[in-house]
């Protein structure tokens, strides 16, 4: 098998993003191992993937036979060493630099294939900082930033760092295009990359407008949906992304750029401190029943 033929994929983290990446990889025919922090969390990740795939069956987007075959290619575990034989591993843990550095370092020790790609689904953390943490394997580290919901949205940002080898970038692009059938863009290795460097200031501006009492949440969102043809308003989108993730990306952007447009509003910080993180917790900028 050539180094470019990626068929064995690992995913670390079984939340919304990680389970989505695992699902699309399995649907594309890859053998997938998804790792979580405990057996219970691994079971929950597997259940999340199965629920999504069965929803696709109900909507006529996948046959029951294909669904069963896809699920047969997914194994959930709490043992990181089960990733030893993977050709590509994507970390999709919480958007904190310390957590991601820990995962990348462990993967560099565990994954046996010297050509294996170690990728991060980070929304904002510079890839060079992750690559530099693994010494001789730094040339195999890059960013593969998927967008939520992963089974629906086609975009993937490919982010090589100054340390990433050209052939690693090309193999990642081939996997995204030919295997996953998704649409890549090459993004610069700067905080926020391309999409979030544009998106986050927009979301923060909407939160500030609400915080200052200049407009209601409903009017802000309806204005952008009905006036600018956005599929979703900025406040609803923030809740979908997760307010903790929005805050984490904003903090990373502000730390690197020191521009006021990236500074997190107090309202966002308070909501996250209160555990109101958006749709995943049932409340955020909106309440969800």
Same domain, yes or no, for 146 and 250? no
Residues 18 and 111 in one domain: yes
Instruction: Give the helix, strand, coil percentages of the chain, each rounded to 5.
Output: 55, 15, 35
Q: What is the mean pLDDT of residues 119-135?
A: 93
Q: Are residues 16 and 66 in the same domain?
A: yes
Task: Cite the beta strand spans of the chain per DSSP E.
Answer: 8-12, 31-35, 74-77, 88-91, 117-120, 141-146, 155-160, 183-186
What residues does 31 pair with on adjacent strands?
A: 8
Residue 59 lies in a domain: yes
Is residue 1 pLDDT above 50, yes or no?
no
Question: 71-114 pLDDT, tens per residue?
Answer: 999 999 999 999 999 999 999 998 889 999 999 999 999 999 99
CATH code of 242's domain: 1.10.1040.10
What confidence score (pLDDT) does residue 43 get?
95
Active-site residue, selected from the candidate residues 25, 123, 138, 140: 123
pLDDT at residue 3 tops 70: no
Whether residues 109 and 159 fall in one domain: yes
Boundary-marking domain end, from 151, 167, 186: 186
Does residue 2 form part of some domain?
A: no
Concerning whether 109 is annotated as a catalytic residue, the answer is no
* Residue 191 placed within a domain: no
* Alpha carbons 217 and 219: distance in angstroms, whole number: 6
Better-scored residue on pLDDT, 2 or 161: 161
pLDDT for 4 equals 59
| CATH number, residue 88 | 3.40.50.720
Task: Please indicate, yes or no, if residue 28 is contained in any of the structural domains.
Answer: yes
Task: Calculate the alpha carbon distances from 268 to 129, 139, 145, 208 in Å.
Answer: 27, 36, 23, 9
Reply yes or no on whether the pLDDT at 289 is more than 80: no
pLDDT at position 37: 95
The mean of the pLDDT values for the chain is 95
Q: What is the pLDDT of residues 149-198, one digit of tens each?
A: 899 999 999 999 999 999 999 999 999 999 999 999 999 999 889 999 99
| 158 and 21, same domain (yes or no) | yes
What DSSP character marks residue 85? T
Shared domain check, 36 and 178: yes
Kindly state the DSSP code that residue 264 receives in the 8-state scheme. P
Task: Specify if 289 maps to a domain.
Answer: no
Q: Say how many C-beta atoms besides its own lie within 10 A of residue 189's C-beta.
A: 19
Query: Are both 220 and 259 inside the same structural domain?
Result: yes
Residue 180 lies in a domain: yes
Q: Could you say which of 186, 209, 237 is where a domain stops? A: 186
pLDDT number for residue 61: 86
Q: What is the pLDDT of residues 21-37, one digit of tens each?
A: 999 999 999 999 999 99
Q: Please report the pLDDT score of residue 272 as a whole number.
A: 98
* pLDDT at residue number 20: 96
Q: How many domains does the chain have?
A: 2
Q: Is residue 170 part of a domain?
A: yes
Range of the domain at 210: 196-281
The three-class DSSP label of residue 77 is: strand
Whether 145 is catalytic is: yes
CA–CA separation, 120 and 146 (whole Å): 10
Share of the chain above pLDDT 70, in %: 99
Q: Are residues 33 and 151 in the same domain?
A: yes
pLDDT digits over 33-72, tens only? 999 999 999 999 999 999 999 998 999 888 999 999 999 9
Q: What is the pLDDT of residue 148?
A: 86
Confidence of residue 5 (pLDDT cuts 50, 70, 90): confident
- Based on the fold, state whether residues 207 and 174 are members of the same structural domain: no
- Is 115 strand, coil or helix? coil
110 and 215 together in one domain: no
* Choice among 23, 91, 157, 251 that is catalytic: 157
Of the candidates 52, 121, 138, 196, the residue annotated as catalytic is 196
For residues 16 and 148, membership in a common domain is answered with yes
Residues 111 and 240 in one domain: no
> Distance between CA 203 and CA 72 in Å, rounded?
39
**Mean pLDDT, rounded, for 260-275:** 97
pLDDT at residue 2 above 60? no
Q: 51, exposed or middle or buried, with CB in 10 Å at 0-12, 13-18, 19+?
A: exposed
Decide which of 153, 186, 219 is a domain's last residue.
186
In a domain, 287, yes or no: no
Catalytically annotated residue among 36, 145, 251, 283:
145
């Amino acid at each position: 098998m050539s180094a470019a033929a990626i068929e064995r994929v690992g995913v670390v983290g079984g939340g919304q993003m990680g389970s989505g990446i695992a699902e699309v990889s399995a649907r594309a025919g890859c053998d997938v191992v998804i790792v979580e922090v405990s057996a219970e969390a691994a079971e929950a990740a597997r259940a999340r993937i199965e629920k999504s795939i069965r929803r696709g069956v109900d909507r006529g987007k996948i046959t029951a036979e294909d669904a069963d075959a896809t699920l047969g290619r997914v194994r959930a575990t709490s043992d990181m060493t089960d990733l030893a034989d993977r050709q590509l591993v994507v970390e999709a843990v919480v958007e904190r630099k310390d957590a991601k550095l820990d995962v990348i370092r462990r993967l560099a020790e565990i994954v046996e294939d010297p050509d294996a790609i170690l990728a991060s689904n980070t929304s904002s953390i510079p890839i060079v900082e992750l690559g530099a943490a693994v010494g001789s394997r730094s040339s195999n580290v890059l960013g593969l930033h998927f967008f939520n919901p992963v089974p629906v949205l086609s975009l993937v940002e490919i982010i090589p760092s100054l340390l990433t080898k050209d052939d690693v970038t090309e193999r990642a692009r081939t996997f995204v295009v030919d295997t996953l059938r998704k649409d890549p863009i090459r993004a610069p290795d700067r905080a926020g990359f391309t999409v979030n460097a544009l998106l986050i200031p927009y979301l923060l501006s909407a939160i500030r407008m609400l915080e200052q009492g200049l407009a209601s949440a409903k009017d802000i969102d309806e204005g952008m949906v009905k006036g600018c043809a956005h599929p979703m308003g900025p406040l609803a989108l923030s809740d979908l992304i997760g307010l903790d993730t929005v805050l984490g990306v904003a903090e990373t952007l502000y730390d690197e750029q020191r521009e006021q447009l990236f500074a997190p509003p107090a309202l966002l910080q308070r909501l996250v401190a209160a555990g109101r993180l958006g749709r995943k917790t049932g409340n955020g900028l909106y309440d969800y029943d």
